[in-house]
Amino acid sequence: MRVRRIGAVVIAAAAAMAGLTACGGDSGASDKFVVGIKIDQPGLGQKQPDGSFKGFDVDVARYIAKELGYADDKIEFKEAISANRESFIQQGQVNAVIATYSITDDRKKKVSFAGPYLVTGQDILTRADDTTISGVEDLKAKKVCGAQGSSSPKRLADKFGAEWKAQYLTEQQGYGACLPLLENKQVDAISTDATILAGFAAQSPGKFRLVGQPFSEEKYGVGLKLDDKATRDKVNTAVEKMFSDGSWKKAVEANFGEFGKFFTTPPAVERY
């Protein structure tokens, strides 16, 4: 009798532990696919007034989730900002981060990446009728707007020097605040990732021109747990399918409008 009771206790304990594993803090429960996204970037990841989410990163997330077997009602979006993307993944608060998340060697020491699903670079947005800017060198004597805390204005300041920064660089809290300055001719250009510029500019068709001469390279990847090769391989397969079946192209056209012409070729997925 004692042996049977001990066996029953062991089985019950094992069942309890299994329940904790299934429902505990690992990526938000096994029946949900939780994705960290930006919620304030038009064209990429933006929360709508009705509480839904829209953007290219959102479309990529939905496609990947579907390929992994999750229905739409099992996808959950969670706001991720640049500063907490690694910790969200490491702490299991999300299954993935798809939030203009550039793949770098330093980040690959902390998290795993599938993709890239899009390659972009720092570019320039001007007014549609301004033909005086055709590349980064033309910004030497131009007033430029950037976002506080972004690496994009720093790249320009490093290139042109402290005197240029003091005379020509204006920094706002976000790139959305730069648009009125550009439209009203208070600045001559905005400079950051081409995708971000395209997303904002697509909201005002015909008003702005994307120069289309990127001077850096940013490979947007899907952030996953470090060394989770099994999931990484599945996500890479999903991304490649999105490229091949036309869904990627449709998402580009739907989210970047007239600026989709700058993102016509899917990148090569980098498996490791």
- 37 in Cβ contact with 82 (< 8 Å): no
Judge whether residue 7 has pLDDT over 70: no
Q: What is the dihedral angle through the alpha carbons of 66, 267, 270, 233, rounded to the nearest 10 degrees?
A: 10
What residue ranges define each of the domains in the chain, with the CATH number in brackets? 27-120+218-262 (3.40.190.10), 122-210 (3.40.190.10)
Judge whether residue 160 has pLDDT over 80: yes
User: How far lies 117's CA from each of 175, 239, 249, in Å?
Assistant: 23, 7, 11
pLDDT band of residue 30 (cuts 50, 70, 90) is low
Average pLDDT over every residue of 22-34: 60
> Cα–Cα–Cα angle for 56, 57, 59, nearest 5°?
65
Decide: helix, strand or coil at residue 260.
helix
Least confident of 80-84, 107-111, 162-166, 182-186: 80-84
List residues bridging with 75 in a β-sheet.
Answer: 33
Average pLDDT over every residue of 242-267: 94
pTM beyond cutoff 0.85: no
- What does the mean pLDDT of the chain come to? 89
- Specify the DSSP element, H or E, that contains 210: strand 208-210
- Specify the DSSP element, H or E, that contains 127: strand 122-127
Q: What is the pLDDT of residue 111?
A: 97
Radius of gyration of the chain, Cα coordinates, nearest whole angstrom: 22
Average pLDDT over every residue of 43-60: 96
Cα separation, 243 vs 268, in Å, equals 10
Q: Where are the alpha helices (DSSP H) in the chain?
A: 2-23, 56-67, 85-90, 151-160, 162-168, 178-183, 194-201, 229-244, 247-256
- 192 in Cβ contact with 175 (< 8 Å): yes
